[in-house]
Structure 1
Amino acid sequence: MNAGNSMSLASNTSVNSTTEDPGIKSKGFLGNIIVMFILALMFNISALVMIIRSSKSHRWSAFYRLMVSLNITDLFGSITCFPVLLATYANNVEWQGGQQLCNYTGYMISFVVLSSAAIVGTMSLERFIGVWFPFFYNNPTAKERRTNILLGTVWVTVAFISLLPIIGFGEYVLQYPGTWCFYNFRAQNLADKIYAYMYSVFWILTILFTIIFNLVKLVLRRIRAQDKKKQYDKANRNEIYSIILLIIIVIVTATCGIPMAIRAIVNESGSMKDNSADLHASRMATFNLVLDPLVYIFFRRENLECLFRFIRKRHGRSEKSPEQCNSTSTKTDNKATSASNQEKIEISSST
Structure 2
Amino acid sequence: MMLAGGKPKGFSRELTEAMAVPVLMFAVGVIGNIIAIAALSGSKQERKSSAFFALVCGLAVTDLLGTCLASPITIATYLNENVLYDNTNLCEFHSFLLLFFGVAGLSIICAMSAERYLAICCPYTYQRWGIDQHFARKCLFCIYLSNIAFCCLPVMGMAGSICQPTKTWCFINWRADKTLPATYSFLYASVSFLLILMTIVLNFAVCGNLLIMRRRKIQSPVTRGSARARWKALSSGVEAQMMTVLMVTSVVVLGCSAPLVVRVFSNQITWTENSHADLMAIRIASVNAILDPWIYILLRRTLFRKIQRFSKVFYIGRKGKAPISIIDSTMGSSIWLNHSYVYVLHKQ
Shared fold, TM over 0.5 = yes
Task: Render the CA deviation track for 1:261-293: whole Å, top value 9, x for unaligned.
Answer: 101100100242211111111111112222222
Cα distance, 1:260 vs structure 2 = 0.8
Whether the aligned pair in 1 keeps the contact of 2:85 and 2:91 (CA below 8 Å) is no
Whether the aligned pair in 2 keeps the contact of 1:23 and 1:92 (CA below 8 Å) is no
Q: Secondary structure at the match of 1:182?
A: strand
Whether the aligned pair in 1 keeps the contact of 2:48 and 2:133 (CA below 8 Å) is no
Cα distance, 1:99 vs structure 2 = 1.2
Cα distance, 1:95 vs structure 2 = 3.0
Whether the aligned pair in 2 keeps the contact of 1:77 and 1:112 (CA below 8 Å) is yes
Q: Secondary structure at the match of 2:257?
A: helix
Q: Secondary structure at the match of 2:155?
A: coil
Q: Find the counterpart in structure 2 of residue 227 from structure 1.
A: 216
User: Are 1:74 and 2:63 matched, yes or no?
Assistant: yes
Alpha-carbon spacing, 1:54–1:243, altered in 2? closer, same or farther (3 Å): farther
CA distance in 1, matches of 2:294, 2:18: 22
Whether the aligned pair in 2 keeps the contact of 1:22 and 1:93 (CA below 8 Å) is no
Q: Find the counterpart in structure 1 of residue 89 from structure 2.
A: 100
User: Are 1:175 and 2:148 matched, yes or no?
Assistant: no
User: Are 1:301 and 2:289 matched, yes or no?
Assistant: no
Instruction: Spell out the pairing of 1:194-273 with structure 2 (5 A cutoff).
Output: 194-229=183-218, 231-232=231-232, 237-238=237-238, 240-273=240-273
Whether the aligned pair in 1 keeps the contact of 2:8 and 2:18 (CA below 8 Å) is no
Alpha-carbon spacing, 1:22–1:73, altered in 2? closer, same or farther (3 Å): same
CA distance in 2, matches of 1:37, 1:292: 14
Q: Secondary structure at the match of 2:270?
A: coil
Q: Unaligned regions of 5+ residues in structure 2, if any? A: 1-5, 219-227, 322-348
Whether the aligned pair in 2 keeps the contact of 1:30 and 1:90 (CA below 8 Å) is no
Task: Render the CA deviation track for 1:298-328: whole Å, top value 9, x for unaligned.
Answer: 403233123213313322431369xxxxxxx
Matched pairs, number: 302
CA distance in 1, matches of 2:16, 2:290: 21
Q: Find the counterpart in structure 2 of residue 9 from structure 1.
A: none
Alpha-carbon spacing, 1:232–1:73, altered in 2? closer, same or farther (3 Å): farther
Instruction: Spell out the pairing of 1:1-351 with structure 2 (5 A cutoff).
Output: 22-24=8-10, 26-56=15-45, 58-92=47-81, 94-95=83-84, 98-138=87-127, 141-229=130-218, 231-232=231-232, 237-238=237-238, 240-296=240-296, 298-319=298-319
Alpha-carbon spacing, 1:309–1:249, altered in 2? closer, same or farther (3 Å): same
CA distance in 1, matches of 2:167, 2:240: 45
Whether the aligned pair in 2 keeps the contact of 1:23 and 1:93 (CA below 8 Å) is no
Alpha-carbon spacing, 1:21–1:157, altered in 2? closer, same or farther (3 Å): closer
Task: Render the CA deviation track for 1:231-265: whole Å, top value 9, x for unaligned.
Answer: 34757745643442233233212211110110110
The residue identity in structure 2 corresponding to 1:291 is L
Whether the aligned pair in 1 keeps the contact of 2:91 and 2:163 (CA below 8 Å) is yes
Whether the aligned pair in 1 keeps the contact of 2:7 and 2:78 (CA below 8 Å) is no
Task: Render the CA deviation track for 1:66-93: whole Å, top value 9, x for unaligned.
Answer: 1111110110001110111111111146
Whether the aligned pair in 1 keeps the contact of 2:84 and 2:90 (CA below 8 Å) is no
TM-score (norm 1): 0.78
Whether the aligned pair in 2 keeps the contact of 1:121 and 1:206 (CA below 8 Å) is yes
Q: Unaligned regions of 5+ residues in structure 1, if any? A: 1-19, 322-351
TM-score (norm 2): 0.79
CA distance in 1, matches of 2:7, 2:252: 32
Q: Compute the RMSD of aligned alpha carbons.
A: 2.5
Whether the aligned pair in 1 keeps the contact of 2:76 and 2:83 (CA below 8 Å) is no
Whether the aligned pair in 2 keeps the contact of 1:176 and 1:279 (CA below 8 Å) is no
Q: Secondary structure at the match of 1:101?
A: helix
Alpha-carbon spacing, 1:66–1:146, altered in 2? closer, same or farther (3 Å): same
The residue identity in structure 1 corresponding to 2:56 is M
Q: Find the counterpart in structure 1 of residue 222 from structure 2.
A: none
CA distance in 2, matches of 1:104, 1:298: 33
Q: Secondary structure at the match of 1:300?
A: helix
Q: Find the counterpart in structure 1 of residue 327 from structure 2.
A: none
